[in-house]
Amino acid sequence: MEKRKIYFDYNATTPVDPKVCRELAEVARDCFGNPSSSHDFGREAAAVMARSRSQVAGLLRAEADEIYFTAGGSESDNLALKGVLLPRLRQRKTPPHLVISAVEHPAVRETAAWLEKMGAVVTRLPVASDGTLRPETVAAAITGQTVLVSLMLANNETGVLFPLAEIAEITRKKNVLLHTDAVQALGKIEIDVRRLGVDMLSLSGHKVYAPKGVGALWIRRGLELDPLVHGGGQESGLRAGTENLPGIAALGRACEILSEEYGEEQKKIAGLRDALEQKLDQALERRLVFHGHRRLRVPNTISLSVPWVDSEALLSYLDLEGVAISAGSACASSTHSGSSVLEAMGVDPALVRGAVRISLGRWSTLEEVDLLVEKFSAVVRRLWSISPLYKPQSPE
Ligand SMILES: Cc1ncc(COP(=O)(O)O)c(C=O)c1O
């Protein structure tokens, strides 16, 4: 009999929605023109570009001409940070100052480290033990040299939300630009870029039921950035290269679906997440340690530690059972490194070793939640039974 596979790793990547798949295939098959060509085939492709731009803008309550398509979240983050900092670095005057948090995704963290090598000054803000960030911490870090603050909207490992709207009030008053990596927030919370008050926002297709290798950077109208990819002048000169039309059309359709289905879907997911947390906790003697602020978080993410267990062993056993979850982030899983996010939150290193992330999405069901609880608790009990550190609970 074929093994039943259950997927609880939506933060690593989402399955492509069948409706999005249809759009992707139709555009790839029927609309092969180059959007820059001046004949009918080109015009058709350009029309697809325009429609997709409006669909993405619609979800963000932005204007279509503020959307710049990229190859994903990492490129959008690189474009935002380098596009702002590199012109300042070229001026060779006072080194520009960049503020990020200690829990940013590597796409921001590593870009900041590279800019530091190029001469920028970087401040990494600490977070509280529940993963939150206080606006006052941001205010105190801003100096006369600060050019850009880049802070994620939702954390990929814990789901904790940063108060970007409050932070935007501070950066606006201090005349500093604000970028947010909203890759893990899009579709999970409502985003209105004007109400949020940021200047740039990154998003990625494969976290919102579109394919991998496509994303976008929203840039507030009037803000000028240096391009990263030079060439044919596509995307208003900001990102050269013939456009990934099927991917872009798919991202547009995925954003349109999110615009239509957002509220109900997130309510359902939050209900399943809460049920899953309760059931796991109960099944394992209330010995799990849950991370992150209980309320200020996206509805789909659970970050928890299993005491006396190594998450790599746990993940491998669960994988054999057909269950897909991850240790912290997918990036951390592939390098087998501990979670720097949990470390930054001051979580005990012994618990960081046993940390896992469970993330739900559009096709999660209560039946799958129950199956996960059954398999997860069976594997943990097996690992506890062979752990010399495990202490059975004394009878009450
Ligand atoms: C918060 C965050 N930012 C950026 C990225 C990178 O996006 P992409 O995989 O599209 O490059 C990810 C992906 O895991 C993410 O979670």
Per-residue pLDDT tens digits for 336-345:
567 999 999 9
Output the six-digit token pair for 19. Answer: 């409706």
Query: d(Cα 35, Cα 234) in Å, to the nearest integer?
Result: 9
- Residues in the chain predicted with pLDDT less than 70, given as ranges, are 1, 329-337, 394-396
pLDDT given for residue 256 in this prediction = 98
Output phi, psi for 379, to 5 deg: -65, -45
Nearest to 330 by CA among 232, 183, 218, 194: 183
Per-residue pLDDT tens digits for 166-186:
999 999 999 999 999 999 999
How far, in Å, is the centroid of ligand 1 from the Cα of 76? 9
| Residue 213 alpha carbon, nearest atom of ligand 1 | 10
Say yes or no: CB of residue 247 within 6 Å of ligand 1: no
The strand pairing partners of 67, in sequence order, are 218
Any alpha helices (H) in the chain, and if so which ranges? 18-30, 40-60, 73-90, 106-117, 135-141, 164-173, 193-196, 245-283, 311-320, 330-335, 340-344, 349-353, 366-386
Say yes or no: CB of residue 269 within 6 Å of ligand 1: no
pTM, rounded to two decimals: 0.96
Q: Where are the domains of the chain?
A: 6-13+262-386
Output the six-digit token pair for 389. Answer: 């550190």
Query: d(Cα 174, Cα 65) in Å, to the nearest integer?
Result: 27
Output phi, psi for 162, to 5 deg: -95, 145
Say yes or no: CB of residue 107 within 6 Å of ligand 1: yes
State how far the alpha carbon of 305 is from the alpha carbons of 127, 184, 228, 272, in Å: 19, 21, 40, 19
| Residue 330 alpha carbon, nearest atom of ligand 1 | 14
Which of 10, 11, 74, 228 for a ligand 1 pocket mutation test, highest count of atoms within 8 Å of Cβ? Answer: 74
Q: State the catalytic residue, choosing from 21, 31, 255, 331.
A: 331
Query: d(Cα 61, Cα 194) in Å, to the nearest integer?
Result: 7
Exposure of 161 in the CB half-sphere (CA atoms within 13 A): 18
Say yes or no: CB of residue 181 within 6 Å of ligand 1: yes
pLDDT given for residue 330 in this prediction = 55
Query: d(Cα 223, Cα 217) in Å, to the nearest integer?
Result: 12
Say yes or no: CB of residue 211 within 6 Å of ligand 1: no
Contact 300, 10 (CB under 8 A): yes
Nearest to 315 by CA among 367, 273, 353, 286: 353
Say yes or no: CB of residue 254 within 6 Å of ligand 1: no
Look up 331 and say whether it is catalytic: yes
Closest residue by CA, ligand 1 atom 4: 73
| Residue 212 alpha carbon, nearest atom of ligand 1 | 10
Segment holding 239, helix H or strand E: none
CATH number for region 6-13+262-386:
3.90.1150.10
